[in-house]
Structure 1
Amino acid sequence: MPTLARRSFTLALMGGLAAPLLLRAHPLRAQTDAVADLRRAALDLPQLHAILVQRGDEVILAEAPRGRGLDRAANIKSCSKSLLALLLGTAIARGEVPSLSARLGDVAPDLIPADATQGVADLTMNDLVTLRGGLQGTSGGNYGAWVSSPNWVAYALRQPRIAPNGGRMIYSTGTTHVLGAALVTATGTTLRDLARERLGAPLGIDIPDWTRDPQGFHFGGNEMALTPQAMLSVALLMRDNGRYGDAQVIAPDWVTASRQVQTRSPFSGLGYGLGWFLSDTGWIIARGYGGQVIAAHPDRGLALAITSDPTQPARSEGYFGALMRLIDGPVLALA
Structure 2
Amino acid sequence: MTMAERVDEVLRAGAAPGFHGLVVMRGGEVELERYGAGVDSRVGQSLGHVTFDRDTLHDLRSVSKSVVGLLYGIALGDGLVPEVGAGLMAQFPEYPDLAGDSARAGITIEHALTMTLGLDWNEDAPYTSAANSEIAMELAPDRHRFVLERPVVEEPGRRRVYCGGATALLGGIIARGTGRPLEEYAADALFRPLGIGTFEWSKGDDGLAMAAAGVRLRPLDLAAIGRLVLDGGRDIVPASWLDEMTRPRVAVGDGLDYGYHWYVGGGMLQAMGNGGQQLVVVPGEQLVVAVTAGEYDRPATSTAAVFDAIFKKH
After TM superposition, the score normalised by the length of structure 2 is 0.84
Q: How far is 1:101 from its partner?
A: 0.8
The residue type paired with residue 203 of structure 2 is T
Which has the higher relative contact order, 1 or 2, with Cα contacts under 8 A spaced 6 or more apart? Answer: 2
Q: Check conservation: 1:100, 1:125, Cα contact below 8 A.
A: yes
1:160-200 residue CA offsets vs partner (Å, 9 max, x unmatched): 22221122111011111111112212221110111101111
> Please, which moves more after superposition, 173-182 or 51-60?
51-60
Aligned residue pairs, count:
290
Aligned residue number for residue 53 of structure 1 = 24
Q: Check conservation: 2:88, 2:109, Cα contact below 8 A.
A: yes
- Give the alignment partner of residue 300 of structure 1, picking from 265, 281, 285: 285
Q: How far is 1:34 from its partner?
A: 3.5
Q: How far is 1:124 from its partner?
A: 1.6
Q: How far is 1:228 from its partner?
A: 0.9
Give matches, 1:134-149, under 5 Å: 134-141=118-125, 142=132, 143-149=134-140
- Give the alignment partner of residue 242 of structure 2, picking from 255, 267, 271: 255
Which is strand-richer, 1 or 2?
2
Aligned residue number for residue 210 of structure 1 = 202
The residue type paired with residue 85 of structure 1 is G
Q: Check conservation: 2:23, 2:289, Cα contact below 8 A.
A: yes
The residue type paired with residue 114 of structure 1 is D
Sort the Cα spacing of 1:99 and 1:283 in 2 relative to 1 into closer, same or farther, 3 A.
same
Sort the Cα spacing of 1:152 and 1:107 in 2 relative to 1 into closer, same or farther, 3 A.
closer
Aligned residue number for residue 105 of structure 1 = 89
Matches of 2:313 and 2:25, distance apart in 1: 10
**Structure 2 unpaired stretches of 5+:** 39-51, 126-131
Aligned residue number for residue 229 of structure 2 = 238
3-state SS of 2:2 partner: helix
Structural RMSD (CA): 2.3
Aligned residue number for residue 120 of structure 1 = 104
Are 2:261 and 1:275 equivalent residues in the alignment?
Answer: yes
- Give the alignment partner of residue 188 of structure 1, picking from 174, 179, 182: 179
Sort the Cα spacing of 1:324 and 1:256 in 2 relative to 1 into closer, same or farther, 3 A.
farther
Aligned residue number for residue 310 of structure 2 = 331
1:246-271 residue CA offsets vs partner (Å, 9 max, x unmatched): xx2111111122221111225x5521
Matches of 2:11 and 2:113, distance apart in 1: 31
3-state SS of 1:147 partner: helix
Aligned residue number for residue 264 of structure 1 = 251
Q: How far is 1:113 from its partner?
A: 5.8
**Structure 1 unpaired stretches of 5+:** 1-31
Matches of 2:104 and 2:213, distance apart in 1: 22
The residue type paired with residue 140 of structure 1 is D
Q: Check conservation: 1:97, 1:107, Cα contact below 8 A.
A: no
